[in-house]
Amino acid sequence: MRQIILVFSFGLAVLISLNCFAWSENGETRQNHGFNVGYRILDLQYRYGKNEQWLTVAVWYPTRATPQRYNYGGPTYGSVALEAAPHLEGGPYPLLVFSHGYGGTGLAAVFLTERLAARGWIVAAPDHLDRYAAVRIRTGQKDNFDRRGFWRHAQQISNSGPDDRHAYLYRVEEMQFVLERMLASEPFGKLIDRERIAVGGHSFGGFTALGLCGAIPGRGEERVKAVLLF
């Protein structure tokens, strides 16, 4: 029976807890060496039902390239090597697919995603196709964002129950799609350790991640070995 590790934490304490995910072949933890962080944005053609859309995904990964100060949008800065080649010799790397909160963006956990990549992870975080989205990976803050509509719909989600779950399964399917595309992609697919795949999420992203771990009947992904929630 596969093991699922649950980590409930906040802020930088999450980074300490994540050391337990650096599994070795014998099940013991190992110390990762530091890496420079590469960053690129993927636009994936995605079909949900009869609708065909583009799903934008931010990806952080280890690289040998020299990082530069980078503005993700607004006041959020990082240190990454944009579009750099991945560090091939350092792999295979564990993969985390991370789900943001409702109305947010795949850039919402930059504080976490950059640090993980620097410790030998590949991290993919999609912009979910929520009804309302205040921020997007490529375009930043949305102008004329409908805050009232957003809060009304967020309240509707918070008041929903198991019978309403079908309305939000699009997020689980988007995560499944990102996982599959990352495993099949060039150049990342061959660098991912198939035995060390995790999903995670914040807020509504926690629901999304748990759905992919089997908390929703019929939606479990057997390749997922761990889940990070905060």
pLDDT of residue 103: 92
Rounded to a whole number of angstroms, the distance between the first and last alpha carbons of the chain is 25
Q: Give, as one character, the DSSP assignment of residue 150.
A: H
Output the pLDDT for position 28. Answer: 33
pLDDT at 5: 40
CA–CA separation, 170 vs 43, rounded Å? 17
- As a whole number of angstroms, the distance between CA 79 and CA 203 comes to 26
For the chain (230 residues), the mean pLDDT of every run of 10, in chain order, is 38 33 35 81 87 93 97 93 95 97 95 97 97 92 90 92 89 96 95 97 95 90 94
Q: Where are the alpha helices (DSSP H) in 5-102?
A: 13-17
Averaged pLDDT of the chain? 86
Question: CB pairs under 8 A, 24+ apart, for 22-28?
Answer: 22/94, 22/119, 22/120, 23/94, 23/195, 23/196
Helix (H) or strand (E) holding 7: strand 6-8
Q: What angle do CA 207, 213, 219 make, to 5 degrees?
A: 85
- How far apart, in Å, are the Cα atoms of 143 and each of 133, 139, 147? 11, 10, 11
Taking the C-alpha atoms of residue 87 and residue 205, their distance in angstroms, rounded to an integer, is 29
Work out the number of other CB atoms within 10 angstroms of the CB of residue 139.
13
- What confidence tens digit (pLDDT) does each residue in 92-111 have? 999 999 999 999 999 999 99
pLDDT at position 49 = 72
pLDDT score for 77: 94
pLDDT at residue 21 in the model: 35
